[in-house]
């Protein structure tokens, strides 16, 4: 009995980024058959061989074992829906899909980044999969960006820039100078500039920065002790002391119940008005970025937060 934990093993294998293919063939009734497969790989240049593996549970297994050939379509970046369609056993996979037959009668999909038409040369037992090795009879490529599969998710392939040096190069410790590529400088400058209008609004409303952080935390959580409030705000560099809690109470922004505090109706109104300002500001800023840029920035910032402290707690 193997000691390998199947989920961990699957996750570890998922770290190997692959392309995504749809492998087609025909069954005994000459009906089209296809599955999504990321197990495709090259084997040999001379003779030209490729391989892929199919789960023994796949309904289409007999078709691949008996047909004598298969066509591998390397999917393009925009073909995610098609990939999902061919990964569902229940569907009529070819419904509403454009395809044609090659000489051997095996389906050729209308769109792909690359196509390899293969004769099945070998079939090997591989645990719960069968490994098919095909000799490539012909192939074609289109100059399309390809679909990538990594860690259980689809992704796009993005080439690294040729300049491989880290951007840290802009720091001179001897002179005590840094260039405007210094990441920590960029992060703090971006923070100060983006938060400036909101900090100004706080000031106008007579709410100090630590008070704002307290209200923000209290607005998202239920009753919370003063001690927990202090520890949850540690990352801001502000340490709310009894003075701040007393001030918030005097302004009637918080209610106290024994050790716990909650945000009051008045406190929530103040917080919401500042939050509205933040939201409007964010909407203005986001217009300058593409969805991909935003997703990348979001992932980058969350990763940075994780490695310098801890995960952001789920707020809602």
Ligand X SMILES: Cc1cc2nc3c(=O)[nH]c(=O)nc-3n(C[C@H](O)[C@H](O)[C@H](O)COP(=O)(O)O)c2cc1C
Where do contacts with ligand X occur on this chain (CB under 6 A)? 20, 35-39, 53-55, 58-60, 83, 87-89, 149
Q: Measured from the CB atom, is 129 or 226 closer to ligand X?
A: 129
Q: Measured from the CB atom, is 53 or 264 closer to ligand X?
A: 53
Q: Measured from the CB atom, is 59 or 302 closer to ligand X?
A: 59
Q: Measured from the CB atom, is 146 or 281 closer to ligand X?
A: 146
CB of 149 to ligand X, least distance (A): 4
CB of 309 to ligand X, least distance (A): 34
Q: Measured from the CB atom, is 38 or 264 closer to ligand X?
A: 38
CB of 214 to ligand X, least distance (A): 46
CB of 41 to ligand X, least distance (A): 10
Q: Measured from the CB atom, is 18 or 195 closer to ligand X?
A: 18
CB of 39 to ligand X, least distance (A): 3
Q: Measured from the CB atom, is 56 or 252 closer to ligand X?
A: 56
Residues 6+ apart with CB under 8 A from 222: 262
Residues 6+ apart with CB under 8 A from 264: 252, 253, 254, 255
CB of 91 to ligand X, least distance (A): 8
CB of 74 to ligand X, least distance (A): 12
């Amino acid at each position: 009995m193997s000691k390998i934990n199947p989920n961990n093993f699957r996750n570890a294998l998922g770290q190997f980024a692959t392309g995504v293919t749809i492998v087609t063939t025909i069954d005994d009734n000459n009906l089209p058959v296809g599955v999504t497969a990321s197990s495709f790989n090259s084997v040999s240049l001379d003779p030209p061989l490729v391989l892929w593996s199919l789960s023994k549970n796949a309904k289409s297994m007999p078709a691949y074992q008996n047909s004598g050939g298969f066509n591998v379509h390397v999917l393009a970046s925009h073909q995610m829906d098609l990939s999902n369609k061919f990964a569902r056993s229940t569907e009529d996979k070819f419904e509403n899909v454009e395809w044609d037959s090659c000489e051997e009668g095996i389906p050729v999909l209308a769109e792909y980044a690359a196509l390899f038409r293969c004769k099945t040369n070998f079939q090997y037992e591989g645990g719960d999969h069968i490994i098919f090795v095909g000799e490539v009879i012909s192939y074609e490529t289109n100059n399309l960006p390809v679909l990538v599969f990594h860690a259980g998710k689809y992704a796009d392939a993005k080439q690294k820039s040729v300049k491989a040096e880290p951007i840290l190069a802009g720091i001179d410790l001897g002179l005590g100078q840094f260039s405007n590529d210094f990441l920590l400088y960029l992060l703090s400058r971006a923070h100060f500039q983006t938060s400036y209008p909101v900090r100004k609004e706080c000031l106008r409303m007579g709410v100090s920065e630590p008070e704002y952080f307290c209200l923000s935390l209290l607005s998202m959580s239920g009753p919370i002790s003063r001690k927990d409030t202090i520890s949850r705000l540690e990352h801001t560099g502000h340490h709310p002391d009894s003075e701040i809690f007393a001030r918030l109470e005097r302004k009637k922004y918080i209610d106290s119940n024994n050790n716990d505090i909650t945000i009051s109706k008045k406190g929530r109104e103040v917080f919401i008005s500042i939050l509205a300002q933040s939201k409007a500001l964010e909407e203005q800023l986001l217009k300058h970025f593409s969805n991909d840029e935003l997703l990348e920035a979001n992932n980058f910032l969350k990763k940075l937060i994780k490695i310098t402290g801890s995960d952001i707690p789920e707020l809602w």
